[in-house]
Amino acid sequence: MTVSQISISSEGPTFSRLVKGMGSSTRWEIGPNKMLDMITECIYMGITTFDNAAIYGGGEAEKLFGDALALNPSLRDRVQLVTKCSIGNFGTSLYHRDTSKEHIMGSVDQSLKKMRTDRIDVLLIHRPDPLMDADEVAEAFAELRKSGKVLHFGVSNFTPSQFELLASRLDFHLVTNEVEISVMHLDTWYDGTLDMCQRLRISPMAWGPLGGGRLFRDDTEQTIRLLKELGQIGEALGASIDQVALAWLLKHPARIVPILGTGKIDRIRSATKAESLELSREQWFRIWVASTGERLP
């Protein structure tokens, strides 16, 4: 099964319908050769977009990806690289945020060096910074765009008002907001994030699309309800629980792009089948009700 490609905004870029997340890559205990195998397998399945961050693995996730890519440099033109900046310790004892121009510019240079590439397809501000100067961030973005070091820009975990503040200072569009969305986490329906994405015609990226694995680990009333409903719908569709949970996200008109965090190829391969599932409106709402535990008013 090969996943499709979509343009995530009117200005691009083109992403695979499912994205491979690198957040746990340093915990998979694999070296560059094994990582290259994973990248190659993902590309074969149509998953060409990879989501990274300066802080993942203490900075080692970007390096591991770059070391793998260096073994077959021709793959660079077949993938889209997303990375993030703005959170960490930054040489201090305090974990904090930094969206200063100096930090953004330096972080991009480090990411390019670690990933052994001359460009980042999409750079995201990782988390909102209470001290963010939108004009300063916009200045950094404009210089990075002009230099060709970064092709597109977005944010992660921003509220609609935070997104719109930064967007108001730019002469080009922010292309995505990477936020937590899953059958277990419905905040983006209530806080206006998905409404904003539809209005702007941008695709949100969804981290934790399976609840960070909590869907299968937790023993809460919510997960018990969800597992029962997802299982029944999966049985009717000939699909697994995780495939149904991903298909539930893919059905949304904002064109949500789920980020797969697993390091197991067989689970990635299984996930690609989610795109071919067509949930009915009734099935979709049965899952919503199972998540909330409440009948719709």
Active site residues: 56
Evaluate whether 125 touches 155 at the Cβ level (below 8 Å). yes
What is the distance between the alpha carbons of residues 17 and 6, in angstroms, rounded to a whole number? Answer: 6
Q: What are phi and psi of 261, to 5 degrees?
A: -95, -10
Evaluate whether 227 touches 215 at the Cβ level (below 8 Å). yes
* Sequence-ordered strand ranges (E) for 126-279: 150-156, 174-180, 205-207, 257-260
For 111, the enclosing helix (H) or strand (E) is: helix 101-115
* Sequence-ordered strand ranges (E) for the chain: 5-7, 14-16, 19-21, 49-51, 80-85, 87-88, 96-97, 120-125, 150-156, 174-180, 205-207, 257-260
Q: Within 13 Å of residue 27, how many CA atoms lie on the same side as its CB?
A: 10
Extract the tokens encoding 6. 């979509």
Question: 3-class SS at 290?
Answer: helix
